[in-house]
Amino acid sequence: MDDSNPKSFEAKLNRIDEIVKLLQSGQPSLEDSIVLFKEGKKLSRECEGFLKSAQEQIDEAMAEPPSGGGDRATSAAELDDELPF
């Protein structure tokens, strides 16, 4: 079993994939399977936290008023009119 805890979202996801493949192979003993399952469950909760944080950051960015210093918002139609093509 892998004792090192992956740090990045991608590394955690890769480790979960490894665990799934190991468990599907049927090779680990019952005890090892339980340890692997617990590790996978922990990693999946951590990934869920990463995703929730990312979603909150996106929601926050989308809620920010457009910058530009103008005293009115620019509509999508106005932006389309300004495109050079």
- As for how many domains the chain has, the answer is 1
> Nearest 5°: CA angle at 78, between 75 and 83?
130
Which structural domain, as residue segments, surrounds residue 22?
Answer: 1-64
Give the separation between CA 9 and CA 48, rounded to whole angstroms. 9
Give the separation between CA 22 and CA 39, rounded to whole angstroms. 12
pLDDT at 49 over 70: yes
Residue-wise pLDDT for 53-76, tens only, equals 999 999 999 997 766 555 555 556
Instruction: Tell me whether residue 81 is in a domain.
Output: no
Instruction: Tell me whether residue 3 is in a domain.
Output: yes
Instruction: Tell me whether residue 38 is in a domain.
Output: yes
Instruction: Tell me whether residue 82 is in a domain.
Output: no
Instruction: Tell me whether residue 5 is in a domain.
Output: yes
Mark out the alpha helices in the chain (DSSP H runs).
9-25, 30-63, 76-82
Give the separation between CA 66 and CA 33, rounded to whole angstroms. 51
Q: Please give the full DSSP string across 11-32, using - where no structure is assigned.
A: HHHHHHHHHHHHHHHT-S-HHH
Give the separation between CA 51 and CA 68, rounded to whole angstroms. 30
Residue-wise pLDDT for 7-20, tens only, equals 999 999 999 999 99
pLDDT at 83: 54
